[in-house]
Structure 1
Amino acid sequence: MTESISPVGRWLNGKLIDIQEGSMETEFAVREDMTNPLGVLHGGIASTILDDVVGTMVYALGREFAYTSVNLNCDFLHAARLGEVIIASARVIRAGRNIIHVEGVIFNEEGKIIAKCASNLIQTSFKIPS
């Protein structure tokens, strides 16, 4: 996702693996500037990855108006170490007219869940340019 419309998305520098209607997978390499003092993925960065992938996936739904996060509830389950490749996935659970409920998961190449989230995004008054 080096061509992300989001500056933070460009900084995260993910590689899009798959995108379909209502789901998306992106790969990231854990860099030193993403780690805490213990050399593992910082929880704030894991949250940022989840928020960015979820937001990008909702944007890709092609709605007329932009959506923004109302909440982002994250659980951190295992560590991802410096140099490790992780995959973030997002999927729509329920898409209403104004609110879209989504879930996101970060897992490593062995399939171990690193972090997961649930989020609600609400429609804004900002029209997405054609």
Structure 2
Amino acid sequence: MSKEEILFFLNSNKDKAITNSPAPFMNWLAPVLLNFSEGSLELAYTVRPEMANPVGILHGGVIAAIIDDSIGATLITYGKLEFHATINLTIDYLGAAKPGDSIIAITKVIKKGKQLTNAICEIWNKDKTRMLAKGSSNLLLANQYAIQS
């Protein structure tokens, strides 16, 4: 994909649920792309019943997956389709959400190097008045592992 095709993909998915990503897991999460700029994304998610744990709140593993997937997706805002492997992921769980709730993920790349990228993600309630989780990650450029179509 060229930089123009990537920007077209981002712009054509703005304010819509992403269901046509090359990443099947992102399609399952079905976030709505609210905003993007180079090194940053803002995505909205609706918590579905299958995302809940046995006590009826958003499963910590799903929160981790949202943070990891959102951070990974942020790297496409640089206009290159490259594969980055997560080499660590640190999460603080600060609040809860339940099925039917809308949550917002806001990402920011802190440092992008030639091989290593550091980024953060915050998960908020829909009004952005209560942080539910925050995470940070380092990702390694690993194009040799990308599946070629």
> TM-score scaled by structure 1?
0.92
Q: Which protein is richer in helix relative to its size? A: 2
Q: How many residues align?
A: 129
- Residue 89 of structure 1: CA displacement? 1.1
Higher mean C-alpha displacement, 53-62 vs 25-34? 53-62
Counterparts of 1:87 and 1:98 in 2: how far apart (Å)? 28
Residue correspondence of structure 1 range 13-52 to structure 2 within 5 A:
13-52=30-69
Please, which runs of 5 or more residues in structure 1 have no aligned partner? none
The residue matched to 1:122 in structure 2 has which SS? Answer: strand
What's 1:95 paired with?
Answer: 112
8 Å Cα contact 1:59/1:66 also seen in 2? no
- Residue 128 of structure 1: CA displacement? 9.1
8 Å Cα contact 1:64/1:128 also seen in 2? no
After superposition, the CA RMSD in angstroms is 1.7
8 Å Cα contact 1:30/1:81 also seen in 2? yes
- Residue 61 of structure 1: CA displacement? 1.6
> TM-score scaled by structure 2?
0.81
The residue matched to 2:83 in structure 1 has which SS? Answer: strand
Counterparts of 2:127 and 2:80 in 1: how far apart (Å)? 35
- Residue 38 of structure 1: CA displacement? 1.3
What's 2:134 paired with?
Answer: 116
